[in-house]
Structure 1
């Protein structure tokens, strides 16, 4: 039988709100990025987690991931500047989001950042988030996006880098 460590973290005091840019992206009180392993209370794991986390920790990260995923959608669609996600993405993911925003802007004859012709009435929305904790300070999330009658997926890997959660991998499906 393999040993499994439970991960629990307590929110660190946040002196300033994490609001950036003209659309006031506020990812709220970011989940504390430094989970501490502790003795498991039960041997049962939730889903595919390799570390046990409390329901409160899971809920907190899923809410943060939902807001982050929605912001990524808005960047790609040109409704939000990509610079608003610079704190929560690695440089390679930031470049990829900027590239995707340019491609979509060219395809729809819009200017990235929310300028240009009127947007359609139906906007994509993140509807569901599932998180899998694969290590202390590492989580993989799957987001379900609804755009009208269609559903799509976004997968992301979040890791603690420089003391905060950052997206290190992002796939649109």
Structure 2
């Protein structure tokens, strides 16, 4: 670890009450189409960064924002602070089963009830600190998330795919 990374100090994550329904589209939960849209590949453009395709900056910002919100919700779900049903719309069945399984295992290990109902909240809250988004195809993005939990940093990797006009997490890996 470099000296600059060792000196980095993160502000503690504020305690907050988790909402009952998860709205990752900013008020468009009932619509079947996503306001994020599909990435557009300009015909004359230079590839930037690690992207395999170039996307419009507005789409990149929206996917980045969505990935941060989804990552925070996924971490809260695994820790039992949020019901897994809130992520059902934003995940494939296999990812949802994995999140449910992880939430049950953590609940058993910490003697808590999964879903965060009627329990005292711990003083340390996980916080997604950053996301790196890489578009590998039009409508497919891979995301690396950095999560801080107390003094520890953890990583999540996700594959997001645009299906039926909305982004879904099709693969989620915890490291």
The reply to whether TM is greater than 0.5 is yes
Q: Counterpart of 1:121? A: 123
Partner Cα separation in structure 1 for residue 57 and residue 19 of structure 2? 34
Alignment match, 2:25: 28
TM-score under structure 2 length normalisation: 0.80
Q: Distance in 2 between matches of 1:28 and 1:79?
A: 21
User: Structure 2: any 5+ residue segments left out of the alignment?
Assistant: 1-17, 27-33
Q: How many pairs does the alignment contain?
A: 151
> For the residues of structure 2 that align with 1:94 and 1:145, how far apart are their CA atoms?
20
As a proportion of its length, which structure holds more strand? 1
Aligned-partner SS, 1:24 = coil
**2:36 and 2:59 in contact (8 A); partners too:** no
Q: Name 1:37's counterpart in structure 2.
A: 41
Name whichever of 81-90 and 24-33 sits farther off.
24-33
Give distance in 1, aligned partners of 2:48 and 2:159: 18
Find the aligned partners of 1:31 and 1:53 in 2 and give their Cα distance.
Answer: 15
Please list every run of at least 4 consecutive aligned residues from structure 1 whose deviation after the TM superposition is greater than 2 angstroms. 21-24, 28-38, 115-119
What residue ranges of structure 1 are gaps of 5+ in the alignment? 1-20
